[in-house]
Each structure stands twice: as C-alpha cells, then as structure tokens.
C-alpha cells in the first residue's frame, strides 16, 4: 500500500481524526518554540549573530509531524544539539509547519513540508528559494516512513534510493472495465496498453539521484543498530508462507537496503496494484531488474523542487539523499485480503519505522559533519546521470526518450535552449505514432 501512516494509531483509537493530531503538534511545537529562540523571517539575517544567511551543512526533510518529532526528541540529548534552538519563519511554508528549525550553530536544520505531492512541492520550493538561507553546499536528507515491498524489504527496513518514480502519472481504467488482455488498468500516457514506455512526457516521471552519495549514505546508515519489535516480527512471519520464498526479504529482520521509491498520492494496497507499479518503475527507469521497494507521496515532488532550484544555482542537486523506512507492507501476506491488510490488520511496523528514521538518519548526519573537511565540503561527485527525465541539469538520461536540451541542460541565460526544447518536443510527438504499431501486443 502507499504508506498508511496512521494505520496503527487509528486501530488503537489514539488518533481518530487527523485534525486532533494537527492541533496537538501545533501546540507542542509552539510551546517548544516559545521557550527558545524564535526568529521572525524579517529579522532572521540580523539575528544570525553576525553570520548573515543560515548556511546549514545538512537539512533534514520530514513530511509530517511524527517524522520530525523523532529528531526533536532525540537530538536535544545528543552532541548535535537541540533542533528547536532556532526557529525561522519562512514565507510560503505550510501553515501547519511554518518554521524551519535549526540547532544552535545552524549546521543542521529541519523542514516539515506537509503530506501529499502538492504540499511537498510548494513547501520545498518556498524553502529553497528563500533569501534567508545559503543552501549551495547543503546536503538534503529526505527522511520519512513508507510502505515496503516484501520482495526486497521488511517492516523497519531503511532504504536508500537512486530513483524515485511518479507511478500514478498514467491513464487509469477501472479494473472492472479494462480490456480482457490488460494485466492492469494503469498504462502510460500516449500508449495503448500496459508496459509500454510513455510517449507523452511531463518531465516529472523519473528523478535519478547521485548513486555514489547514495552508496556513501548506505555505509553510514549501516553503523546503526535498527529498532525492531516482537509484534512486527509476528506480522512479518506471515509472509513466510508465500510460494517459492517470494517474500523471503519480508520475513527478515530490518536492515539497510538499496532500492527505489514510488511516488503517488493514491494509497494503494494489494498484489495486483503493487506488481503493476513494480513494472512501471522498472520500465520507466530502464533497468533490467525490479528495484521498487518503497511507496510514498512526496519524494518526486521534493526532489523536483530541489532540482529546479539547482538550475538557478541555489542548491546542488548531487547532494540530495532519499531515505525511507518501512512502516507497513504494500501488499498482504497470502492469508489476508488486501482490504484487511490495508484497514484492519495491525502490522506493528509504524513505531519501529519512525524510530529508525532517527537511528539510521543520525548516522548519516554525523558522518557528513565529521567528514566535512575531508569529503563532504567539496561534494561527492556522481558517476551516473542525475536529474529528471528530460535532461534539465545536463547530460543524457539513461532512461526515457532523451534530453530535451541537447545534453547541455536548460540554460537560464539564453532563450536558445527553449527553441531547442520545442524542436525536440515536436520531434517526440512526430515519433509518438510508432507506439501505435505495438498497441495490440
């Protein structure tokens, strides 16, 4: 399923209404801010003790309050300092999360963007374009909980991703009305059947991150001893009955894994939808093996906003890290129906997933800070293509229909690239007819 974040709390009656959680988090954060240094956005530069703009080395990006709270509660008791020491109001952030929080020396900051693609994109864009911050050398750690694919991971697993795919950006026909030869009601824009590459491209379908940085982050996260629970182990064991050990990874204890993320605002559950989006992820990233393991709402949105800021030199896209922890499985074990799994079963993964955001994430943060002078200040140079499906940052994507900018990327200083993009787009549309020849395959 696409991350049923409140499933455990709803079942126990702790959070019957999202509004109650929102009011509670607002009261908690506002009370904490009231006892610390709250910085108005108009006064932030003057209140930086003469340092000018805030220049964090690491920004932690959370999606909703529990993902942020685990940092607030744990960092204040660590050598890294209190994340609520400085609280900067930034125009354009979510009304629910209007502040960026930073520790005492400003090396570590945290932003909560809000749930869903729209909230995440709007909040991230407001932050990366804010004049209160110099983010040119900042590492962005996207750290949240997610649904997990039992073929590759399990409850509590920590996944570091190279790709995130906007899987629901497709045509959809209700399964009850789809053609008899369709395996799913989802199929790509501009095509005529499932498992064909989209011929109509929006530019947000696939984001690829710095693989070398991902691998470095994996090594840092592996230093952590991850949280687990007996309840989570009991639910994981149900996946051991799958034929041919299909879900063997789902039975294992949590670990740090390399696999990719699917973005969608639809909370999906079940074998058929999950396998359909496995195929989408593999097809759209041009990979030979299935690498989809995490499902979430915000990843593509956050990363696309960061990439657009990189075009204008505000950030370095090669410094983005995507980390998700498994709070629930995206499909049921053989003995449980998709609906039972989505709304009735208590998987007991929520608590350990939230804990492991900090347990694994803080090792990445500490590693970046401790190795700043030797490694991270100058950056981790990517050896793979990074960016979106249309080549906005330059280079030739190793997936999709090729760069719309001739491999040189979009240039903000010249309109020539716009003309080139239009010509290339026209060429794509002319060639789109070739998909008609395979529409009955």
Provide the mean pLDDT of the chain.
Answer: 87
User: How would residue 60 be classed by pLDDT, with cut points 50, 70 and 90?
Assistant: very high
Write the pLDDT tens digit of every residue in 313-341: 999 999 999 999 999 999 999 999 999 99
Reading the block at residue 380, the tokens are 């981790």
Residue 431 pLDDT: 55
CATH of the domain at 315: 3.40.50.1580
Over residues 161-190, the mean pLDDT reads: 96
In a domain, 96, yes or no: yes
Residue 388 pLDDT: 97
In a domain, 430, yes or no: no
Distances (CA, A) of 128 to 39, 59, 140, 296, 308: 18, 11, 11, 22, 9
pLDDT at 369 over 80: yes
In a domain, 162, yes or no: yes
Residue 41 pLDDT: 42
User: How would residue 214 be classed by pLDDT, with cut points 50, 70 and 90?
Assistant: very high
Cβ atoms of residues 155 and 352 within 8 Å: yes
> How many helices and strands (H and E) does the chain possess?
12, 15
The total number of structural domains in the chain stands at 1
For the chain, what percent of residues have pLDDT higher than 70? 82
Write the pLDDT tens digit of every residue in 226-247: 999 999 999 999 999 999 999 9
Residue 23 pLDDT: 45
In a domain, 152, yes or no: yes
pLDDT at 415 over 70: no
In a domain, 188, yes or no: no
For the chain, what percent of residues have pLDDT higher than 90? 79
Q: Are strands 139-148 and 58-62 parallel, antiparallel or unpaired?
A: parallel
Residue 418 pLDDT: 56
Taking the C-alpha atoms of residue 126 and residue 108, their distance in angstroms, rounded to an integer, is 18
In a domain, 391, yes or no: no
In a domain, 289, yes or no: yes
Q: Give the domain extent around 364.
A: 7-169+204-379
Over residues 4-20, the mean pLDDT reads: 40
Query: Nearest to residue 337, comparing CAs of 433, 272, 246, 410?
Result: 272
Write the pLDDT tens digit of every residue in 372-389: 999 999 999 999 999 999
DSSP 180: T
- b/e map 298-335, b = 16+ CB within 10 Å: bbbbbbbbbbbbbbeebbbbbbbbbbbbbbbbbbbbee
Residue 401 pLDDT: 87
Cβ atoms of residues 212 and 405 within 8 Å: no
Write the pLDDT tens digit of every residue in 98-145: 999 999 999 999 999 999 999 999 999 999 999 999 999 999 999 999
323: Cβ–Cβ under 8 A, 6 or more apart, which residues? 141, 142, 143, 144, 158, 159, 160, 161, 217, 221, 357, 360, 361, 364
User: How would residue 437 be classed by pLDDT, with cut points 50, 70 and 90?
Assistant: very low
Residue 11 pLDDT: 40
176: Cβ–Cβ under 8 A, 6 or more apart, which residues? none
Residue 135 pLDDT: 98
Cβ atoms of residues 253 and 228 within 8 Å: yes
pTM for this model (two decimals): 0.88
pLDDT at 9 over 90: no
Residue 419 pLDDT: 56
pLDDT at 402 over 80: yes
User: How would residue 433 be classed by pLDDT, with cut points 50, 70 and 90?
Assistant: very low
In a domain, 174, yes or no: no
pLDDT at 197 over 80: yes
Cβ atoms of residues 348 and 155 within 8 Å: yes
């Amino acid at each position: 399923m696409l991350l049923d974040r409140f499933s455990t709390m709803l079942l126990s009656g702790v959070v019957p209404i999202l509004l109650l959680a929102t009011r509670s988090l607002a009261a908690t954060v506002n009370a904490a801010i009231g006892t610390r240094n709250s910085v108005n956005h108009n006064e932030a530069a003057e209140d930086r003790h003469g340092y000018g703009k805030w220049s964090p080395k690491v920004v932690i990006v959370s999606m909703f309050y529990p993902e942020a709270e685990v940092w607030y509660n744990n960092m204040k008791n660590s050598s890294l300092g209190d994340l609520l020491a400085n609280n900067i109001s930034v125009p354009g952030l979510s009304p629910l999360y209007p502040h960026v929080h930073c520790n005492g020396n400003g090396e570590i900051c945290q932003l909560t963007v809000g749930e869903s693609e729209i909230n995440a994109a709007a909040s991230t864009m407001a932050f990366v374009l804010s004049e209160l911050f110099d983010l040119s050398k900042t590492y962005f750690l996207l750290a949240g909980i997610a649904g997990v694919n039992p073929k590759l991971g399990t409850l509590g697993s920590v996944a570091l991703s190279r790709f995130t795919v906007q899987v629901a950006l497709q045509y959809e026909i209700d399964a009850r009305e789809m053609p008899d030869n369709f395996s799913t009601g989802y199929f790509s824009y501009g095509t005529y059947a499932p498992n064909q590459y989209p011929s109509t491209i929006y530019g947000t379908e696939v984001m690829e991150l710095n693989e070398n940085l991902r691998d470095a982050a994996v090594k840092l996260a592996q230093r952590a001893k991850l949280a687990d629970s007996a309840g989570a182990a009991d639910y994981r064991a149900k996946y051991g009955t799958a034929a041919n050990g299909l879900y063997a990874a789902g039975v294992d204890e949590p670990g740090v894994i390399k696999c990719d993320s699917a973005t969608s605002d639809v909370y999906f559950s079940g074998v058929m939808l999950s396998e359909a989006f496995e195929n989408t992820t593999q097809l759209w990233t041009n990979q030979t093996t299935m690498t989809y393991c995490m499902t979430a709402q915000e990843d593509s949105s956050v990363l696309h906003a960061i990439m657009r800021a990189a075009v204008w030199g505000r950030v370095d896209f090669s410094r983005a890290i995507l980390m998700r922890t498994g709070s629930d499985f995206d499909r049921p074990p053989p003995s449980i129906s998709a609906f039972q799994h989505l709304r009735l079963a208590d998987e007991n993964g929520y608590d350990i997933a939230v804990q492991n955001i900090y347990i694994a994430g803080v090792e990445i943060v500490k590693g970046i800070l401790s190795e700043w002078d030797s490694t991270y200040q100058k950056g981790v140079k990517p050896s793979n293509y990074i960016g979106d499906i249309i080549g906005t940052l330059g280079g030739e994507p190793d997936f999709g229909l090729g760069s719309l900018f001739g491999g040189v990327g979009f240039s903000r200083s010249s309109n020539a690239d716009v003309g080139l993009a239009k010509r290339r787009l026209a060429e794509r549309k002319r060639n789109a007819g070739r998909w008609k020849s395979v529409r009955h395959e």
